[in-house]
Amino acid sequence: MDSTIKRKFSVREIREDFPALRQTIYGKNLIYFDNGATSQKPQYVLDAINQYYSKDNANIHRGVHHLSQKATSEYEASRKFIAAYLNAKSSDEIIFTKGTTDGINLVASSFGHLLNAGEEILISAMEHHSNIVPWQMLCERKGCVLKVIPINKKGEIIQDEYEKLLSSKTKLVAVTHISNSLGTINPIKEMIQKAHVVGAKVLIDGAQSIQHDKIDVKDLDCDFFVFSGHKVFGPTGIGVLYGKEALLDRMPPYQGGGDMILKVTFDKTTYNELPYKFEAGTPHIAGGICLGKALEYLNQFDIESIKKHETELADYAQDLLLTFEDMNIIGESKKKTSVVSFIVDGIHPFDMGTLLDKQGIAVRTGHHCTQPLMDFYKIPGTVRASFAFYNTKEEIDTFIAAVEKSIGMLK
């Protein structure tokens, strides 16, 4: 796809690209507002998956035969494309992973190997369990200390507290770019600068941001950036860890196996170079190729028009929701992405979600894998509507009517 001339942003045309959106659930047209959990896939990606398995399937990197070389060159071309998309210095900085969680675990295990007892890791109070538990496990293993940067009621990281927590003991700051539960967009560029002042490295959890904004790792100056393919219109089971080359070079391998070695003897094994050092075993080849295709698809559009449309959707939904009595929006930062999390006094999110489902609307209910955050707000969970660029205001109107009907039944 040629990305120099951007495709006109037309929601109607974009919807045509996503076959999953054209279906009925319980006899109602599907309204898919669970994009924070996973996104639907465009035909462009579906065709690429089909093409790979029906024509190009072969194991990569070692084969001398035509198919193997073809699969290898496509896989590596995808890595190059992703590197360019993120503005990484080289494709050696792009490690294919299973997803965001896998990327964080890789860093916790391998970068964690370089840490010593008493050294500190900072996370924020709004992190997904995936950006909490690997660090807790590391702290248990190495005697490091996990510290939590508090947030305010609006759902924003308290920057003064963050600055206070930073010290020469801080070795890593691991924060989310965008909160999956609240939608808050964190000021990561400033936070990265502050961390670097004390010599700490920074990992950005980009699971919720890669699909909504342009990511430029050079401009951000982050040390690690992780994301999942399936949230950015690509396949499940594939993701990316970006890491600065010098840092990745210093880190020991994560898992042992094929592809990550240079030479194996029973006495001593030497490891392969980047990025292969971190990719043991046959990788998710189709996933790697098709994640590139998903980003290519997204790259046809001017990201600013996507952002504008998504922000309009979120503002529209939030304004309409606030017309209901006893409605609480959870996450009220001025800087938010297209996520609206809410809870109505006296109505359990599970009940609301069940009734919305029966009206053909897919939302997520519960703690969204952020239990400490729900404890902070003293709520059992929220109902979360998360929008993508293929959603429309008409869908939000239907959703609002369904919320009204559900409140009527549950109050």
Partner 1 sequence: MTLEEKQKEIVEDFAIYDDWMEKYEYIIELGRDLPIIEEEKKTKDRIIEGCQSQVWLDSSFADGKMHFKADSDAIITKGIIGLLIRVLDDEKPEDIAKCDLHFIQEIGLHEHLSPTRSNGLASMVKKMKMSALKALTTNDSEQKA
- Cite the active site residues: 369
Token pair in block for residue 298: 């997204």
Q: Which of 137, 261, 362, 410 contacts partner 1 by CB under 8 A?
A: 410
Q: Which of 110, 272, 365, 370 contacts partner 1 by CB under 8 A?
A: 365
**Cα 381 from Cα 353, distance rounded (Å):** 11
What are the C-alpha distances in Å from 306 to residues 10, 23, 290, 341? 10, 24, 21, 20
**Cα 372 from Cα 379, distance rounded (Å):** 10
DSSP annotation of 304 reads H
Which segment (77-85, 115-123, 344-352, 383-391) binds partner 1 by CB under 8 A? 344-352
Token pair in block for residue 49: 């998956």
Hunting for tokens 């579906």 — which residue is that?
Answer: 46
Nearer to partner 1, 25 or 49 (CB): 25
Token pair in block for residue 385: 């509507």
Which segment (7-15, 77-85, 112-120, 343-351) binds partner 1 by CB under 8 A? 343-351
Strands of the 120-124 sheet, one edge to the other: 94-97, 239-243, 224-228, 201-205, 170-176, 120-124, 145-149
Q: What DSSP string runs through 8-24? A: P--HHHHHHT-GGGS-E
Which segment (39-47, 86-94, 155-163, 352-360) binds partner 1 by CB under 8 A? 352-360
Residue 401 contacts partner 1 per CB under 8 A? no
Which segment (56-64, 137-145, 290-298, 353-361) binds partner 1 by CB under 8 A? 353-361
Residue 70 contacts partner 1 per CB under 8 A? no
Nearer to partner 1, 38 or 359 (CB): 359
Residue 379 contacts partner 1 per CB under 8 A? no
Q: Which of 216, 366, 392, 398 contacts partner 1 by CB under 8 A?
A: 366
**Cα 352 from Cα 359, distance rounded (Å):** 11
Q: Which of 43, 358, 394, 404 contacts partner 1 by CB under 8 A?
A: 358
Residue 380 contacts partner 1 per CB under 8 A? yes
Buried b vs exposed e over 256-268: b needs ≥16 C-beta within 10 Å? eeebbbeeeeeee
Q: Which of 195, 329, 355, 385 contacts partner 1 by CB under 8 A?
A: 355
For residue 180, the minimal CB distance to partner 1 (Å) is 15
Which segment (190-198, 232-240, 269-277, 349-357) binds partner 1 by CB under 8 A? 349-357
Residue 359 contacts partner 1 per CB under 8 A? yes
Quick one: how far is CA 285 from the chain centroid? 20
**Cα 332 from Cα 318, distance rounded (Å):** 10
**Cα 302 from Cα 88, distance rounded (Å):** 20
**3-class DSSP assignment, residue 9:** coil
Q: Which of 155, 275, 283, 381 contacts partner 1 by CB under 8 A?
A: 381
Nearer to partner 1, 26 or 266 (CB): 26
> In degrees, to the nearest 5, what angle opens at C-alpha 311 toward C-alphas 153 and 101?
65
Which parts of 164-183 interact with partner 1 (CB under 8 A)? none
Residue 250 contacts partner 1 per CB under 8 A? no
C-alpha dihedral (158, 161, 166, 167), degrees to nearest 10: 170
Q: Which of 2, 26, 65, 160 contacts partner 1 by CB under 8 A?
A: 26
Residue 307 contacts partner 1 per CB under 8 A? no
For residue 353, the minimal CB distance to partner 1 (Å) is 8
Residue 129 contacts partner 1 per CB under 8 A? no
**Residues contributing to the site for partner 1 (CB under 8 A):** 26, 348-351, 353-355, 358-359, 365-367, 380-381, 405, 409-410
